[in-house]
Amino acid sequence: MPGFYISDFEITAELNSAKKDRCVLDEKEWNGIKIKRCTLDKFINDKCMEETKDYIIVSEGVLLNKIHLLKEYGTDSVSELIIKMFESVGETFFDKFRGSFSGALYIKKELKWIIYTNHYGDNMLFYSFPEGRFVISSQIDWILETLKQNDRSITFDENALNSVCSYGYMAQDFTYVNEIKRLYPGHYLIYKDGSFNIKKYFNIKPGRYDLSKKSEAEIIDEMDDLFRKAVKLEYEKDKEYNYTHLAQLSGGLDSRMNLWVANDLGYKDVVCMTFAQSDSLDEIIAKRIAEDLGLKHIVWHLDLAKHLFKIDEYISMNYGLAIYGGIGAEKEMLDSEDISNTGLIHTGQIGDVIIGCFLSSDKELNDMTPGGLYSTMFKPAWTDMSAFHDREDYLMFVRGFMGCLSSHLYTRNYTEVASPFLNIELLEYCMSIPVSLRKKHELYKKWILKKYPGAAKYIWEKTGKKITEKNNELKEKAILAIRNPKLVLKKLGFNVRIDNKIMTGMNPIDLWWENNAGLRKLYDDYYSDMILSDKISDTCRYKIKKLYTTGNATEKMLCITCLAAIKYYFK
């Protein structure tokens, strides 16, 4: 992934740089510290790597509110802005940034580094502090190369396997190497005098807004105002650089509302992209929306599951931190299309649990057991649940930020990513709305019907019906039988193992597994080649073998992800 690198290690060979043809390369050295960046050439004025008499400043990613902050602080560049903000606000100046960003500030007179990632952590940073030395980077492979060149050993972290084979992603700060960790979302790192300290600057506090005296109608109005401001902030960033807008579109509600509100605000120059099985609801619904809004629409079909065959390539792009096949289709499309003049990829990421909710009732708030698991064969426990206010806070951080947003590791090789639902003002407002209003998409539906009724005329892929339709038990049972006949058998009292539901939407993994002999052979061969690796302990080998041989298609993909990651880290 493009980004930056800072280390006091000796580097004897050039570090490999991904996507060199799309990146700006810079290197500096100061007082024995190597500073390097290989950053995408998009949104380049939102980024910097500069040195002044008193500071070294590195900024990566995109600052959606840069123009507002430049005016507020009376500066002309990001480097000047960061210095002025630091000198007036202090070491958490970046809390005022919005978007997908990371960065570093070195204060020369204090011999101190401040290293930070954004609130929801999709602009990832990794670090290693072996024997009083340090290396911090956006890219794990740069850290691996540095440790290798300096004869530092690396060891396999079995927690990584437990996490990925359960959650489907790395739920804590693990990588597959004990010596390399990830900086958590909403955290920053202070490095000085050979030691480091990690601090939190952002957490979701329930009730940050007092809405107790607000009516439901007032809440919808205020929430809608925040959502519109968030959408405008993203699309104006594209206009700042004269980029064409690029937006994901599926049969769900989140991407639909991002696009619908953007259109309502007057942003018409949008290219929509959809990844779906042919003739699935995702494709059908997305086509109708794009056609009705008069937008260019690109559909990438998943029928042959070709995007699942490049296992090692995808692992090299997400470091095995999440199930590898999650966004392969998008990579294939971005490789095949000319996106040189497109801006952000606008998504609806995790809107269903922000305006919607992870929970179905207030009673679940105090349940702090692990949740959102892909597989229950192995159940990792979060080691410090006291870090979270309640279950929703836990699920938002672990499943939302650490899990769902891990897909941005792929996407940021091509451009920056944004979702209006992740706007901090909107996020904090929604987290102040009681679960009783947001549960089961009740507030979400009311918002659409009150403010954007035209968006409600299309079917919702999740249910196969419009949000205005009442529950139809017969129809629901028919959909259930088509999508997961084994669940029907289970309800009828038969003793059957329930696989992930066979879908016809964006990622019908079980459907591909059942109908693609080439995919089954690929997985079986890969499993056979790697399961005997001497890098895998007997305990891990037993776990992977049990999950692969008895698990469903998704669980097999989890095993392949872990095996490929072990191959990548210890090649």
Inform me whether the pLDDT recorded for 392 exceeds 60.
yes
Does residue 41 sit in the same domain as residue 170? Answer: yes
Residue 491 resides in a domain: no
Q: What is the average pLDDT value for the chain, to the nearest integer? A: 90
Q: Mean pLDDT over residues 484-505, rounded?
A: 43
Per-residue pLDDT at 533:
87
* The pLDDT of residue 165 is above 50: yes
Q: Is the pLDDT of residue 333 over 90?
A: no
When mean pLDDT is compared across 4-8, 119-123, 344-348, 411-415, the lowest value belongs to 411-415
**Residue 87 placed within a domain:** yes
pLDDT at 255: 97
Report whether 25 contacts 41 (CB < 8 A).
no
pLDDT (tens digit per residue) in 304-328: 888 899 999 999 999 999 999 876 7
pLDDT at 256 over 70: yes
Domain around 267: 216-461
For residue 476, tell me if it sits in a domain.
no
3-state class (DSSP) for residue 303? coil
**Tokens of residue 401, six digits:** 């930020």
Pick from 200, 225, 260: which residue ends a domain?
Answer: 200
Q: Are residues 333 and 451 in the same domain?
A: yes
Residues 149 and 276 in one domain: no
Residue 61 has pLDDT above 60, yes or no: yes
Query: Do 50 and 133 lie in a common domain?
Result: yes
The reply to whether 502 falls in a domain is no
- 102 & 147 share domain: yes
- For residue 483, being part of any structural domain is answered with no
Lowest mean pLDDT among 89-93, 129-133, 177-181, 247-251: 129-133
Q: Look at residues 445, 461, 477 and tell me which one is the last residue of a structural domain.
A: 461
* Overall average pLDDT of the 515-529 stretch: 95
Within a domain: 479: no
Taking the C-alpha atoms of 79, 82, 84 and 88 in order, what is their torsion angle to the nearest 10 degrees?
A: -170
Task: Supply the CATH number for residue 111's domain.
Answer: 3.60.20.10
Q: Would 549 be classed as within a structural domain?
A: yes
What integer pLDDT is reported at residue 387 of this predicted model? 84
Q: At what angle do helices 281-293 and 254-264 cross, to 10 degrees?
A: 0
Categorize the per-residue pLDDT at 479 as very low, low, confident or very high, splitting at 50, 70 and 90. low
My answer on whether 65 and 169 are in the same domain is yes
CA–CA separation, 107 vs 113, rounded Å?
7
Residue 192, pLDDT > 80, answer: yes
Same domain for 151 and 37: yes
Mean pLDDT along residues 102-109? 97
The confidence band for 476, taking pLDDT boundaries of 50, 70 and 90, is low
Q: What is the spatial distance between Cα 333 and Cα 249, in angstroms, rounded to a whole number?
A: 14
Q: How confident is the model at residue 332 (pLDDT cuts 50, 70, 90)?
A: confident
Whole-number pLDDT of residue 38 = 92
**Residue 129 falls inside a structural domain:** yes
As given in the structure block, the two tokens for residue 238 are 């594209």
Q: Is residue 284 predicted with pLDDT exceeding 70?
A: yes
What is the CATH classification number for the domain harbouring 316? 3.40.50.620
- Together in a domain, 306 and 339: yes
Alpha-carbon distances of 16 from 11, 13, 57, 146, 571, rounded to whole Å:
12, 9, 23, 11, 15
Q: What was the pLDDT predicted at 544? A: 95
Question: What value does the mean pLDDT take over residues 529-552?
Answer: 92
Asked which of 178-187, 189-198, 419-428, 531-540 is least confident by mean pLDDT, the reply is 531-540
Q: Which letter, b or e, does each residue of 124-159 get, where b requires 16 or more Cβ atoms within 10 Å of its Cβ?
A: bbbbbbbeebbbbbbbbbbbbbbbeebebebebbbb
Q: Which of 30, 316, 10, 14 is nearest to 147 (CA)?
A: 10
Shared domain for 556 and 426, answered yes or no, is no
Q: Are residues 226 and 170 both part of a single domain? A: no
Whether 36 and 181 map to the same domain: the answer is yes
Say if residue 502's pLDDT is above 80.
no
- 305-340 burial, b at 16+ Cβ within 10 Å, e below that, comes to bebbebbeebbbbbbbbbbbbbbbbbbbbbeeeebe
Q: Which pLDDT score, from 0 to 100, does residue 571 have?
A: 82
Q: Is the pLDDT of residue 346 over 50?
A: yes
Are 386 and 277 part of one and the same domain?
yes
pLDDT of residue 88: 97
Domain boundary among 166, 200, 234: 200
69 φ/ψ angles, rounded to the nearest 5 degrees: -70, -35
Among residues 257, 286, 280, 273, the alpha carbon closest in space to that of 441 is found at 257
Least confident of 5-14, 245-254, 547-556: 5-14
Q: What is the pLDDT of residue 416?
A: 96
Structure tokens at 55: 């500071």
| Structural domains in the chain (count) | 3
Geometric angle at alpha carbon 157, from 152 and 163, rounded to 5°:
150
